[in-house]
Amino acid sequence: MKHDFEELLRVRGISLPPVSVATLQVNITRMCNQACRHCHVDASPARREMMSEAGIERCLEILARHEAIGTLDITGGAPELHPGFDGFVERATALGKHVMVRHNLTVQFDPHPQTGESKAYLPEFFARQRVEVVSSLPYYQQYFTDAQRGSGVFGKSIEALRRLNAVGYGEEGSGLLLNLVYNPVGPYLPAAQASLEADYKRELKTKFGVVFNSLYTITNMPINRFRLHLEKSGQLEAYMEKLTAAFNPAAAEGVMCRSLISVGYDGRIYDCDFNQMLDLQAQARDGRPLSIFDFDFEQVLARRIRFAAHCLGCTAGAGSSCGGATA
Amino acid sequence: MSSYYESEDLRKFGEIGKHAKGLADDFFKYYGNVTGTDGALTKREKALIALAVSHAQKCPYCIDAYTTQCLETGASPEQMMEAVHVAAVMQAGITLVHSVQMQNHLEKLVL
């Protein structure tokens, strides 16, 4: 089989068992105010999947019970569109957890797709809760950003970043972390994270007066909407070959699924958000599908991570994870 | 109908070693050392130079490869286009500077 990730690991003698469950990443909705061309979630304003109240309660119970899970990483869609988002953040923060929100910036300005509600209050809310804000900005210029995320997104994103800066995000000494995410606008690998971060800092500061803490570079995964684009444009095979050729054992060692689990809106547990979108549910050693509703920390830690061809995206070049490069 | 410069042929670059492996190995080692690492010039600067040369030499394979390489080293479209203008202006300058030769000869011919 071509692009067989498990075979690649076997040939290289690399074993990648879980090492911890330090982060609970929860995808609480697939609804989004945007419909980006590369989105692996296929999120859009038309999606209606939402985590139930019981699901959120269960996640909070798990966080409360397990000190080892120090971080809650809330994602979507645009997670702020979930009606229980604010309460989820407040209660996780009250538990002493480090809370990260995957915030797409434009949700501050776009009305809720279903209710029309405004989310303009988010910067002040985030600052009060001292959550870490992680936001996608595919480039420090309009051209690439709007090409990937939609016309007008760059301008709105800059305005949203200024509003976050105004409450202290990204300012040195404030303790309010604002991290940006770069991902390529096509089938190529990200530039080196440190040099690109320096470019972003210089350009955003001088041209727009915007500051932030760190830049995370992420590789586009060949799944869902992006995969469809690759297939339609005849670039899928070349992209898979590029990822395979760029396999980096050091990046493989640091893959995020070794220290994170991903929870779907329905409570199912996955090794990562990408596996979630491919419906590759995590399994206990006995083959039982893992879920938050019968959560057993030791079983989760002892699971065998499910790998497939898309994992080549996380191990190419300097590596890729929700926290950027891994090597 | 087949033609020259099929884009998929770029992937066959490694096959230049088919009948002269040692020489190809030498070339690829040199190539990697020059373009694949940060040195006195960064990888991005080298990619922009290579993009300019690709245009000056009119190599479609190289244009594809170094457009990608420029993006993978973080170059912006503006930097890439300026690099092509450097190649263009050099070619124009090289043509124009030869007019000195023309003028020299003109002066010789004219009474």
Helix pair angle (B21-35, B43-56), 10° resolution: 120
Quote the percentage of chain A above a pLDDT of 70. 100
In a domain, B3, yes or no: no
**Which pLDDT band holds residue A1 (cuts at 50, 70, 90)?**
low
Sign of the Cα pseudo-torsion (A216, A220, A223, A224, in order): positive
**Mean pLDDT to the nearest integer, A186-200:** 95
To the nearest whole Å, the CA of A282 is away from the closest chain B CA by 33
In a domain, B7, yes or no: no
Q: Which residues pair with A75 in a beta bridge?
A: A27
Determine the Cα–Cα distance for residues A290 and A58; give it in Å rounded to an integer.
14
What's chain A's average pLDDT? 95
DSSP label at residue A189: P
Residue B75's domain comprises 19-109
Asked if B11 has any chain A CB less than 8 Å from its own CB, the reply is yes
For chain A positions 112-141, those within 8 Å of chain B (CB to CB) are 139, 141
In a domain, B69, yes or no: yes
In a domain, B32, yes or no: yes
Characterise A123 by phi-psi region: left (phi > 0), alpha (psi -120 to 50), beta (else): alpha
Which pair of tokens denotes residue A321? 């994870």
Could you say which of B11, B74, B77 has the minimum Cβ distance to residue A191?
B74
In a domain, B1, yes or no: no
Q: How many other C-beta atoms can be found within 10 angstroms of the C-beta atom of residue B105?
A: 10
Q: What pLDDT was estimated at residue A254?
A: 94
Q: How many other C-beta atoms can be found within 10 angstroms of the C-beta atom of residue A182?
A: 24
pLDDT digits (tens, 9 = 90+) for A248-281: 999 999 999 999 999 999 999 999 999 999 999 9
Instruction: Give the closest residue to A133 by CA, choosing from A194, A89, A193.
Output: A89
Q: How many domains are there within chain B?
A: 1
Q: Is A63 helix (H, G, I), strand (E, B) or coil?
A: helix
Which pair of tokens denotes residue A66? 């397990």
Which pair of tokens denotes residue A166? 């105004």
**Which pLDDT band holds residue B5 (cuts at 50, 70, 90)?**
confident
The per-residue b/e assignment along A145-161, b for 16 or more CB within 10 angstroms, e otherwise, is bbbbbbeebbebbbebb
Q: What is the CATH number of the domain that holds B37?
A: 1.20.1290.10
**Beta-carbon contacts below 8 Å between A and B:** 29
Which pair of tokens denotes residue A212? 């932030």
- Domains, chain A, in order of start with CATH, read 5-315 (3.20.20)
Which pair of tokens denotes residue A132? 């870490």
In a domain, B4, yes or no: no
Q: What pLDDT was estimated at residue B86?
A: 98
Asked if B76 has any chain A CB less than 8 Å from its own CB, the reply is yes
Determine the Cα–Cα distance for residues A99 and A104; give it in Å rounded to an integer.
16
In a domain, B6, yes or no: no
Instruction: Give the closest residue to A137 by CA, choosing from A120, A155, A124, A121.
Output: A155
Evaluate if residue B1 carries a pLDDT over 60: no
Contacts of B11 in chain A (CB under 8 A): 238, 241
CB contact at 8 A, A214 and A324: yes
Which pair of tokens denotes residue B43? 């990888």
**Mean pLDDT to the nearest integer, A98-120:** 96
Could you say which of B11, B72, B77 has the minimum Cβ distance to residue A191?
B72
